[in-house]
Amino acid sequence: MALDLTASSVELTRAICDIPSVSGDERVLADEIESALAAYGHLEIIRHGNTVVARTSLGRPQRVVIAGHIDTVPINGNVPTRDVEIDGTPHLWGRGTVDMKAGVAVQLKLAAELTAPEADITWMWYDNEEVQAEKNGLKLLADERPDLFAADFAILGEPSDGRIEGGCNGTLRAVVRTRGVRAHSARSWVGENAIHGAAPILSRLAEYRAREVTVEGLGYREGLNAVAIRGGVAGNVIPDLCEVDVNYRFAPSKSIDDAVAHVRAAFDGFEIEIVDAAAGARPGLDAPIAQRFLAAVGGEAHAKYGWTDVARFSALGVPAVNYGPGDPHLAHHDEERVPLAQIEAVERGLRAWLTTS
């Protein structure tokens, strides 16, 4: 059954949630989207792998990108979707309802409906957001078709509880290591215990007080955390290696170099390996087009803490914000569900902005 882009955004959310599209398995949904959009002559369609781009070319003075990923984390007994009522409020329950097919449904509906928006729009629906970065459909598209990313502003439909969340923190992963000398644990004094040697690493982490950094009016709360620790050879051996995986979340005003220097200072005296790092994204809410977006949607912008693909736009010089239905705390949750009213509110917000000069 073909997707009906004239259905309500709630019905469209239900329809695309019920087409499973766990990362790596997005082809069927991408085909459905491409084929549904083909009926709309105001859109030029570009297919790139399982990423579908649709854009208007009305010669407007400004262009915006509006994007969302079509993959989900694995299904866990939560497809097909169902209607549930929570505290008297109707919700759509199931995998993808929050992260982020409700956002995609709103975008698909508006892509079909808005034949003459106030700004030209490049819509992007991409695959493999929930897996390793090198498979990310938005990244692959940016690598091969950076021209498609030329825009004045970008909106990513990631769940933000229907609020505007500007930019995002950067993220850095490092391994902090201690080394020792193996020995039989019955003669521990012959060796040197690498796990004991890690005591100051954990103490520094426990005592660390994260800062809140204001960037372009939004407060970004940082964090420095151990996300894993491992060490040990056998039950009767003094371990010669202990590794602490550390994750540093840093404000978008800091460069990757700043973040590396901060982590090196925090664990001064220890062996540190920087595993990977991704810069954050400035919120860019001072641009006039962003101000118009804020005014149209209403409410107040907040800082986004988690790293999202907005940083890819930011790296290309395009200010970007997150704006989508669904509580981000329920993303990936097996009880993932979205209030129907929030889907409709985001649809109204985007429509108001895109149709108001």
Active site residues: 71, 129
Alpha carbon dihedral 349, 157, 312, 332, in 10-degree steps, equals 150
Query: In this complex, which beta carbon is closest to a copy of itself, that of residue 51 or of residue 178?
Result: 178
CB of 164 to a copy of itself, least distance (A): 17
Give the one residue of 36, 54, 238, 285 binding a copy of itself; rule: CB under 8 A: 238
Residue 305 C-beta: closest distance to a copy of itself, Å: 4
CB of 245 to a copy of itself, least distance (A): 7
Residues in the chain: 357
Nearest CA-CA partner of 179 in 103, 240, 249: 240
Q: Which residue's entry shows tokens 């595993």? A: 275
The label of the residue with tokens 């040990």 reads 232
How far apart CA 120 and CA 323 sit, in angstroms, is 19
| Site stretch for a copy of itself (CB under 8 A), options 1-9, 57-65, 91-99, 230-238 | 230-238
# residues contacting a copy of itself (CB under 8 A):
47
Compute the least distance from the CB of residue 188 to a copy of itself, in Å.
Answer: 4
Least distance from a copy of itself to the Cβ atom of residue 304, Å: 8
Q: Using alpha carbons, select from 49, 27, 13, 20 the residue that is nearest to residue 159.
A: 13
Nearest to a copy of itself of 42, 179 (CB atom): 179
Exactly one of 59, 61, 77, 235 binds a copy of itself (CB under 8 A); which one? Answer: 235
Closest CA to 54 of 68, 75, 71: 68
Nearer to a copy of itself, 59 or 209 (CB): 209
Which one of the spans 67-75, 239-247, 262-270, 282-290 is the region binding a copy of itself (CB under 8 A)?
239-247
CB of 196 to a copy of itself, least distance (A): 4
DSSP notation for 178-192: EE-B-EEGGGGGGSB
- Binding to a copy of itself by CB under 8 A, coded x per residue (else -) over 295-324, reads ----------xxx-----------------
Neighbours of 213 (CB within 10 A): 17
Q: Cα separation of 124 and 118, whole Å?
A: 18
Which residues from 195-224 bind a copy of itself, rule CB under 8 A?
Answer: 195-199, 202-203, 205-206, 210, 221, 223
Report the residue number, 241 or 287, with the smaller CB distance to a copy of itself. Answer: 241
Q: Are 273 and 175 in contact (CB under 8 A)?
A: yes
Burial of 229 (0-12, 13-18, 19+ CB in 10 A): middle
Among 41, 59, 77, 187, binds a copy of itself (CB under 8 A): 187
- CA-closest candidate to residue 301, choices 242, 310, 125: 310
Stretch that binds a copy of itself, among 113-121, 141-149, 188-196, 287-295 (CB under 8 A): 188-196
For residue 69, the surrounding DSSP H or E stretch is strand 63-69
Dihedral pair phi/psi, residue 246, rounded to 5°: -115, 140
Query: Residues 185, 253, 255, 355: which binds a copy of itself (CB under 8 A)?
Result: 185
Residue 162 binding a copy of itself, by CB under 8 A: no
Segment 71-130, which members bind a copy of itself (CB under 8 A)? none
**Prior bond of 80 cis (ω within 30°):** yes
Closest Cα partner for 325 from 311, 313, 337? 337
Specify the residue, 85 or 207, whose C-beta has the smaller distance to a copy of itself.
207
| Phi, psi angle pair for 298, to nearest 5° | 80, 170
Please state, as a whole number, how many other Cβ atoms lie within 10 Å of the Cβ of residue 163: 19
Smallest separation, CB 239 to a copy of itself (Å): 6
Binding positions for a copy of itself, rule: CB under 8 A: 169, 171, 173, 184-190, 193, 195-199, 202-203, 205-206, 210, 221, 223, 225-239, 242, 244-245, 247, 249, 305-307, 329
